[in-house]
Amino acid sequence: MQGTRQSMALVNLAYQRHLFWDGRSTQMEEMLTHPMERADEMGLTPTQIEGKLQTDAYKQLFANAFKGSKPSYALARKALSQYVRTLVSANSKYDKYLAGAYQPTAEELAGMRLFFTHPDPTVRPAGLRGANCGDCHMSITTAGRTQGLAGFANNGFLNPTDFGLERVTRDTNDRGKFRIPSLRNIALTAPYMHNGRFGTLEEVLDHYNSPEAFNGRYTDFLMKTAKNNRGGTSLGLTDQEKRQVIAFLHMLTDTTHAKP
């Protein structure tokens, strides 16, 4: 059965308080077993999951990990959640730059500046140009805020059959809002967005640069106020600026991530 959501990368989930694209869970254990039980995914019951663990290999592993305990659904949830909490990305070029151990190229530096700058065309003499990414993808983690539901936003795309956070809160002000994910290893995790509608980073930048996203009824306020040109109807990045932002996004790749 075809699902409606793109699988989200598991990187740095230990730092998140709301899980899934629509934030419907705050428990890592629930997030990991939910796909196993959904009818349109693995479609297993807890009893069936537990039954699949009754092999000599798993019995020995569980006994070693849980002081002689036998495999169980509850312990499987605990083991999976503890493993996912170890999936931390902190050794990218960006991390090395922050530690003073990497000198970015001119293109990477320009992309970094654009990424973390909210544009303001009224700044004299030539305006302050920016790509506005950092308003949502914040700080070192490049993920959304963790306070309350501040880490959710409508990015200018509204699917009439999937209202995202509104499905959880029942608040129409949350229509089309989805969790702002970390961009760590983003160059390796295509396709993009909650429904996987974009296959390349170039397509993603084109979306954020489009009047359609800029002027959407439910588009996040920080996007609507981000324009590089006076009187502009979109973000207004140049082709060169988009290439620079993508160069910075490649700096977020961590080739040591999750290696045993």
- Identify the pLDDT of residue 8: 87
* pLDDT tens readout for residues 184-201: 999 999 999 999 999 999
Q: In the predicted model, what is the mean pLDDT of residues 53-70?
A: 97
- Identify the pLDDT of residue 260: 45
Nearest-5° angle of CA 201, CA 203, CA 207?
A: 115
d(CA 243, CA 180): 22
Q: In the predicted model, what is the mean pLDDT of residues 130-154?
A: 94
CATH number of this structure's domain 13-84: 1.10.760.10
SS3 179: strand
- Identify the pLDDT of residue 194: 94
Q: In the predicted model, what is the mean pLDDT of residues 78-89?
A: 94
Q: In the predicted model, what is the mean pLDDT of residues 235-251?
A: 98
Query: How many other β-carbons are positioned within 10 Å of the β-carbon of residue 260?
Result: 3
8-state DSSP, 135: G
Examine the pLDDT at 241 and tell me if it is beyond 50: yes
- Domain spans in the chain, listed from the N-terminal domain onward: 13-84, 93-250
Examine the pLDDT at 92 and tell me if it is beyond 60: yes
Percent of the chain with pLDDT over 90: 86
CATH number of this structure's domain 93-250: 1.10.760.10
